[in-house]
Amino acid sequence: DIQMTQSPASLSASLGETVTIECRASEDIYNGLAWYQQKPGKSPQLLIYNANSLHTGVPSRFSGSGSGTQYSLKINSLQSEDVASYFCQQYYDYPFTFGSGTKLEIK
């Protein structure tokens, strides 16, 4: 199975700041990577697919980048509604696997 190592596990930042969350795959996943946002008590919501494509309706302050085994999610101009957990998911190979998540809080 492809292991997804996500960091940091938690993150505290101020409103308006830029934050970056990383995911490292145990092997090349050829941009088969998605990012999800999960607010407390809610189901995950798709943010980014194919490593860098913004899902419909997602604010442009979210962006994804990376290739090979290294990927990142950047959130510009942090807003209060961005408080959530964020997960990466590789869908290059079975079984599809997720990172362990990053919990984002506002300072």
60 dihedral zone (left: phi>0; alpha: psi -120 to 50; beta): alpha
Which residue, 10 or 18, has its beta carbon nearer to another protein? 10
- Site residues for another protein, 74-93, by CB under 8 A, read 87, 89, 91
**Residue 46 contacts another protein per CB under 8 A:** yes
Candidates 17-25, 42-50, 59-67, 74-82 — which segment interacts with another protein by CB under 8 A? Answer: 42-50
Q: How far is CA 65 from the centre of its chain?
A: 10
Contact status: 66 vs another protein (CB under 8 A): no
23 within 8 A of 9, measured Cβ to Cβ: no
Pick the closer one to another protein by CB: 75 or 97: 97
Bridging pattern class, strands 10-13 and 4-7: unpaired
**Measuring CA to CA, which residue among 26, 76, 84 is closest to residue 54?**
76
Give residues in contact with another protein (CB under 8 A).
Answer: 32, 34, 36, 42-46, 49-50, 55, 87, 89, 91, 94-101
